């Protein structure tokens, strides 16, 4: 039993536990509380009982409650789901007489089913999904703090195994080097080197040869000499670079170590063509941001494509392949939407701005349902179209690339599923990115899936998630907590470990969190658009004026709501889509409830739309209405400006800088934010930033150092934190500048696209190498995954298709 639970039961605190349970029961004997509710209930209990202020922290009961993620009251029983440490879960049943039983995962899932009245054992057992057996024989990280650093671990583990047998190691290197080519051009070694022994000898010979050459001698000048020794292009562009590469290889052959291997692989030209998959949204470069389902994902994928192309170009140049006509190509695969609503989403190909060879490739959904497939479809509805989409996309991709890609990276549930289907068909490495999965966004989305199915179809989406995350060779996450949360909160992937979909299936082990497939690689910001407000030489005076006018003064009912009484007050600024989760209305309420904050600051919001008539999205409609209600209720006229504009990217960069010119503050009040690109954008611009403590911002910002955390569910506390800072800045004007400076530094040192792509490409090479050398047999898992696809995913999406057809 958990030590904390034992400590409570064996001490006087047992009475407190009893009283606390009584208190909970008073509000109903059949209840399901999640962590926030549990903490609130416990805090009321402590007040009722006049406990000391530090009781929640110092008592065993307080600590037990702190680690309790879920609490289920079921008549006479109480179930506690405790998470004593990251990625670990224990569940207990406490009976009326205080006897305690621990529960297996299966039993816990039954309890949850019973809670929602869907537990029917007499009708047979429910289908259990269990991925654990497939991970039993792959290497597993031991310590939870190393989760997310999979590649380092994998590299160390696999190398130590492989290096034990020199012959096996040499064979692996030889076979791997013999593998590479680009559009028919053989790379690295040719048939003159016929085995591993010859490889070793020829490397030494080639080294003696290049050693005598001037460092800067271009490769083309001695290409044929190397070719005669068995070496083809790919080792470097100059004598010096080739010498370094051969030295690393020589060292690896004689005395291998994992660092050397990593350095060697980073030089191997094995990635030229990449496909990024982002299916559902309006994927384009203009007029799409702020539409339903397009937000950070579009920004992320476009920036990633640009940065990948640039990095590949650099690598190819260094490898000495540019003169042979080798060129990288990055394709962003998205949906072609015939009814394009003024966007370019009906075009098959669109060049990515700022690239030589980066393209958005759009493939339509097959016209099996013209009334639906001609239009944009919400991400919740697109499941029936994805399988045929992948088949069609495969053809288009191979035509565009004149062959197979070297890497496929999916984005979000739908993109990852398509990435899986493509990777399986093409036998290519699959990476996943999941900016924010719905399962952790919608509370109880799995328990009540049947009630939500009509609008959300989570039964299909969560199945797709399980399929794609297990099939992927590598999962790129933006933060550690995206994988396994924090000591007090569950991570996005962790939430897939075990859950029930009542009447459909039980997930007993949905994903192995300790698998080296997880790697934290945060994104960056586009530094051409978002840069410090101080870089005046890069700013365009005309644009500054226009943005200034728009933010503070412009009167145009179609675009702006509100006129400021005193535009010189310090601006509090936020920008987001009007989703419930983004919680801009929460920020308005927080501002509304603090007259002091209103005294010091104006609130300026850029939030998509001003009129309900402009949107068909029900959540957006609700938020617009709520915003007006709050402005009225708190009488915020004259203190708030709400801009219903969709700014071109270049202007959105200037917006942050103009707010910084006014020594303003950026507030990101989301109820949950998976990563939070706007936080990076604001920080690099030099804005002191107050970011939600729920999600990624917790890792980007270091509280009180280069920004501040807020708990957006606690409006008074949030207002007070901002007010404190504002008042301190009023007293000591240098403070604003200090935080601003550190915010900029934070982004430059840890969150650039250069760091991101260097790491990503290194991962791709290392996973590629290990997949090849270990010949890891994943076929059994992939077969299991396929059966989930055909037996659960497909029939359910077929049923959804029929619903669409009936419309």
Q: Which of 82, 170, 289, 766 binds ligand UDP (CB under 6 A)?
A: 289
- As to burial, measured by CB atoms within 10 angstroms (0-12 exposed, 13-18 middle, 19+ buried), residue 557 is exposed
- Could you give the string, one character per residue 603-632, with x where binding to ligand UDP holds by CB under 6 A and - elsewhere? ---x-x------------------------
3-state secondary structure of 564: coil
Options 123-131, 572-580, 598-606, 672-680: segment touching ligand LCN (CB under 6 A): 672-680
For residue 444, what are its two tokens? 């109880």
For residue 496, what are its two tokens? 């897939």
Q: Which of 311, 355, 459, 678 binds ligand UDP (CB under 6 A)?
A: 678
Cβ atoms of residues 525 and 680 within 8 Å: yes
Report the sign of the C-alpha dihedral through residues 101, 107, 111, 112, in that order: positive
- Angle at the Cα of 806 from the Cα atoms of 804 and 807, rounded to 5 degrees: 70
Options 295-303, 369-377, 439-447, 471-479: segment touching ligand UDP (CB under 6 A): 295-303
Residue 306 binds: one of ligand UDP, ligand LCN, none (C-beta under 5 to 8 A by kind) = none
Q: Is residue 296 part of the contact set for ligand LCN (CB under 6 A)? A: yes
Q: How far is the CB of 336 from ligand LCN (least distance, A)?
A: 22
- Could you give the string, one character per residue 458-497, with x where binding to ligand LCN holds by CB under 6 A and - elsewhere? --------------------x-------------------
Q: How far is the CB of 86 from ligand LCN (least distance, A)?
A: 21
Question: DSSP string of 161-204?
Answer: HHHTSHHHHHHHHHHHHTT-EETTEE-SB-TT--SHHHHHHHHH
Q: Is residue 435 part of the contact set for ligand LCN (CB under 6 A)? A: yes
Q: How far is the CB of 694 from ligand UDP (least distance, A)?
A: 13
Query: Among residues 139, 481, 415, 109, which one has the least CA distance to residue 277?
Result: 415
- The number of residues making up the chain comes to 807
Q: How far is the CB of 411 from ligand UDP (least distance, A)?
A: 11
Residue 608 binds: one of ligand LCN, ligand UDP, none (C-beta under 5 to 8 A by kind) = ligand UDP
Q: How far is the CB of 747 from ligand UDP (least distance, A)?
A: 13
Report the sign of the C-alpha dihedral through residues 536, 538, 543, 548, in that order: negative
Q: Is residue 701 part of the contact set for ligand UDP (CB under 6 A)? A: no
Q: How far is the CB of 438 from ligand UDP (least distance, A)?
A: 12
Q: Which of 548, 620, 673, 681 binds ligand LCN (CB under 6 A)?
A: 673
Q: Which is nearer to ligand UDP, 298 or 393 (CB)?
A: 298
Distance separating alpha carbons of residues 261 and 172, to the nearest angstrom? 12
Q: Is residue 256 part of the contact set for ligand UDP (CB under 6 A)? A: no
Q: How far is the CB of 387 from ligand LCN (least distance, A)?
A: 25
Q: How far is the CB of 678 from ligand LCN (least distance, A)?
A: 8
Tokens 């009007």 locate to: 578
Q: Which is nearer to ligand UDP, 239 or 289 (CB)?
A: 289
| 361 DSSP 8-state letter | E
Options 160-168, 204-212, 640-648, 673-681: segment touching ligand LCN (CB under 6 A): 673-681
Give residue 203's Cα distance to chain centre: 42
Q: Is residue 296 part of the contact set for ligand UDP (CB under 6 A)? A: yes
Q: How many CB atoms lie within 10 A of CB 12?
A: 9
Tokens 């569950």 locate to: 490
What lies within 8 Å, CB to CB, of 92 at 6+ separation is 1, 2, 5, 79, 80, 82, 100, 101, 102, 103
Q: Which of 269, 290, 410, 522 binds ligand UDP (CB under 6 A)?
A: 290
| 599 DSSP 8-state letter | H
Q: Is residue 659 part of the contact set for ligand UDP (CB under 6 A)? A: no
Q: Which of 134, 675, 751, 789 binds ligand LCN (CB under 6 A)?
A: 675
Strand order in the sheet with 100-102: 30-34, 68-74, 77-82, 90-94, 100-102
Q: Is residue 592 part of the contact set for ligand UDP (CB under 6 A)? A: no
| 266 DSSP 8-state letter | T
For residue 276, what are its two tokens? 């990024």
Q: How far is the CB of 304 from ligand LCN (least distance, A)?
A: 9
Q: Which is nearer to ligand LCN, 523 or 669 (CB)?
A: 523
Q: Which of 41, 72, 677, 701 binds ligand UDP (CB under 6 A)?
A: 677
Cβ atoms of residues 38 and 71 within 8 Å: yes
Q: At what angle do helices 150-163 and 166-177 cross, to 10 degrees?
A: 120
Query: Among residues 315, 230, 311, which one has the least CA distance to residue 268?
Result: 315
Q: Which is nearer to ligand LCN, 115 or 300 (CB)?
A: 300
Q: Which is nearer to ligand LCN, 437 or 785 (CB)?
A: 437
Cβ atoms of residues 607 and 638 within 8 Å: no
Q: Is residue 691 part of the contact set for ligand LCN (CB under 6 A)? A: no
Q: How far is CA 699 from CA 8, 93, 485, 702, 756, in A?
A: 33, 35, 11, 7, 16
What lies within 8 Å, CB to CB, of 697 at 6+ separation is 668, 673, 676, 679, 691, 709
Q: Which of 38, 299, 352, 390 binds ligand UDP (CB under 6 A)?
A: 299
Q: Is residue 276 part of the contact set for ligand LCN (CB under 6 A)? A: no
3-state secondary structure of 306: helix
Q: Which is nearer to ligand UDP, 233 or 523 (CB)?
A: 523
Q: Which is nearer to ligand UDP, 252 or 298 (CB)?
A: 298
Q: Which is nearer to ligand UDP, 2 or 297 (CB)?
A: 297
Q: Which of 115, 174, 300, 793 binds ligand LCN (CB under 6 A)?
A: 300
Cβ atoms of residues 771 and 478 within 8 Å: no
Options 175-183, 287-295, 484-492, 531-539: segment touching ligand UDP (CB under 6 A): 287-295
Q: Is residue 281 part of the contact set for ligand UDP (CB under 6 A)? A: no
Residue nearest ligand LCN, CB atom distance:
296
Options 19-27, 215-223, 310-318, 677-685: segment touching ligand UDP (CB under 6 A): 677-685
Tell me whether strands 570-575 and 560-561 are parallel, antiparallel or unpaired. unpaired
Consecutive H or E run containing 659? helix 649-661
Q: How far is the CB of 173 from ligand LCN (least distance, A)?
A: 37
Tokens 């190397």 locate to: 226
Cβ atoms of residues 401 and 452 within 8 Å: no
Beta pairing partners, 302: none
Tokens 């982004």 locate to: 747
Distance separating alpha carbons of residues 639 and 549, to the nearest angstrom? 16
What lies within 8 Å, CB to CB, of 193 at 6+ separation is 174, 199, 202, 230, 231
Residue 571 binds: one of ligand UDP, ligand LCN, none (C-beta under 5 to 8 A by kind) = none
Q: Which of 308, 312, 401, 436 binds ligand LCN (CB under 6 A)?
A: 436
Q: Which is nearer to ligand UDP, 8 or 437 (CB)?
A: 437
Options 42-50, 367-375, 674-682, 771-779: segment touching ligand LCN (CB under 6 A): 674-682
Q: Which of 80, 681, 729, 769 binds ligand UDP (CB under 6 A)?
A: 681
Residue 234 binds: one of ligand UDP, ligand LCN, none (C-beta under 5 to 8 A by kind) = none
Chain residues that interact with ligand UDP, rule: CB under 6 A = 289-290, 295-297, 299, 575-577, 606, 608, 646-647, 652, 675-678, 681
Chain residues that interact with ligand LCN, rule: CB under 6 A = 295-297, 300, 435-436, 478, 523, 673-677, 696
């Amino acid at each position: 039993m958990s030590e904390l639970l034992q400590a409570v039961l064996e001490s006087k605190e047992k009475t407190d536990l009893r009283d606390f349970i009584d208190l909970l029961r008073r509000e109903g004997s059949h209840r399901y509380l999640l962590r926030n509710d549990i903490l609130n209930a416990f805090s009321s209990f402590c007040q009722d009982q006049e406990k000391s202020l530090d009781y929640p922290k110092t008592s065993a009961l307080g600590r037990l409650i702190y680690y309790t993620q879920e609490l289920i009251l079921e008549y006479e029983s109480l179930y506690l789901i405790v998470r004593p440490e990251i990625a670990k879960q224990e569940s207990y049943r406490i009976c009326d007489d205080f006897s305690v039983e621990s529960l297996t995962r299966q039993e816990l899932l039954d309890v949850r089913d019973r809670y929602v009245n869907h537990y029917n054992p007499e009708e047979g057992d429910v289908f259990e999904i269990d991925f654990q057996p497939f991970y039993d024989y792959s290497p597993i990280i031991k310590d939870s703090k190393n989760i997310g650093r999979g590649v380092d671990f994998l590299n160390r583990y696999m190398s130590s195994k492989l290096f034990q047998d020199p012959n096996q190691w040499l064979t692996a290197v030889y076979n791997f080097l013999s593998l590479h080519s680009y559009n028919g051009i053989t790379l690295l070694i040719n048939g003159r080197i016929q085995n591993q022994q010859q490889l070793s000898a020829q490397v030494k010979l080639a080294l003696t040869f290049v050693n005598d050459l001037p460092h800067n001698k271009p490769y083309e000048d001695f290409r044929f000499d190397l070719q005669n020794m068995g070496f083809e292009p790919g080792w470097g562009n100059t004598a010096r670079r080739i010498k370094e590469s051969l030295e690393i290889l020589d060292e690896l052959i004689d005395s291998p170590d994992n660092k050397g291997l990593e350095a060697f692989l980073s030089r191997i030209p094995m990635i030229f063509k990449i496909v990024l998959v982002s299916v559902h949204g309006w994927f384009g470069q203009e007029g799409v941001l702020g539409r339903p389902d397009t937000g950070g994902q579009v920004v992320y994928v476009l920036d990633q494509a640009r940065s990948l192309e640039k990095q590949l170009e650099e690598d190819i140049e260094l490898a000495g392949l540019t003169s042979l006509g080798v060129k990288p190509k990055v394709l962003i695969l998205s949906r072609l939407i015939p009814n394009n609503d003024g966007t370019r989403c009906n075009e098959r190909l669109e060049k990515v701005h700022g690239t030589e060879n980066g393209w958005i490739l759009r493939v339509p959904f097959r016209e099996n349902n013209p009334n639906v497939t001609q239009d944009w479809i919400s991400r919740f509805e697109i499941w029936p179209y994805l399988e045929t989409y992948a088949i069609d996309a495969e053809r288009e991709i191979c035509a565009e690339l004149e062959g197979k890609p070297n890497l496929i990276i999916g984005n979000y549930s739908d993109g990852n599923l398509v990435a899986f289907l493509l990777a399986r068909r093409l036998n290519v490495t699959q990476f996943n990115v999941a900016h924010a999965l719905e399962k952790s966004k919608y509370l109880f989305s799995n328990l009540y899936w049947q009630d939500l199915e009509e609008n959300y179809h989570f039964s299909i989406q969560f199945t797709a998630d399980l399929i794609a995350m297990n099939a992927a060779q590598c999962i790129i996450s933006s933060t550690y907590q995206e994988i396994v949360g924090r000591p007090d909160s569950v991570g996005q992937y962790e939430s897939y470990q075990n859950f029930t979909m009542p009447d459909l299936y039980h997930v007993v082990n949905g994903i192995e969190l300790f698998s080296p497939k997880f790697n934290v690689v945060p994104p960056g910001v586009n530094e051409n658009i978002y840069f410090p407000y101080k870089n005046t030489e890069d700013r365009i005076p005309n644009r500054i004026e226009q943005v200034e006018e728009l933010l503070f003064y412009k009167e145009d009912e179609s675009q702006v709501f509100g006129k400021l009484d005193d535009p010189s007050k310090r601006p509090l600024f936020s920008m987001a889509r009007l989703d419930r989760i983004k919680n801009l209305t929460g920020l308005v309420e927080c501002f509304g409830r603090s007259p002091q904050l209103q005294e010091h600051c104006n609130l300026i919001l850029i939030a998509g739309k001003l009129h309900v008539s402009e949107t068909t999205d029900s959540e957006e409609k609700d938020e617009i209405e709520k915003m007006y209600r709050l402005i009225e209720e708190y009488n915020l006229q004259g203190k708030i400006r709400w801009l219903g504009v969709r700014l071109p990217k270049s202007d959105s960069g200037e917006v942050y800088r103009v707010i910084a010119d006014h020594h303003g503050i950026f507030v990101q009040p989301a109820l949950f934010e998976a990563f939070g690109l706007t936080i990076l954008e604001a920080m690099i611009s030099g804005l002191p930033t107050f970011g939600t403590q729920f999600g990624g911002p917790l890792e980007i910002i270091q509280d009180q150092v280069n920004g501040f955390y807020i708990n957006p569910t606690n409006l008074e506390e949030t207002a007070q934190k901002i007010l404190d800072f504002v008042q301190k800045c009023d007293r000591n004007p240098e403070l604003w500048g200090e935080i601003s400076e550190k915010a900029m530094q934070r982004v430059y040192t840890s969150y650039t696209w250069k760091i991101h792509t260097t790491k990503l490409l290194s991962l791709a090479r290392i996973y590629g190498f290990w997949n090849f050398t270990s010949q890891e047999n994943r076929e059994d898992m992939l077969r299991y995954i396929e059966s989930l696809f055909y037996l659960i995913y497909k029939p359910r999406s077929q049923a959804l298709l029929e619903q669409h057809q009936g419309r």
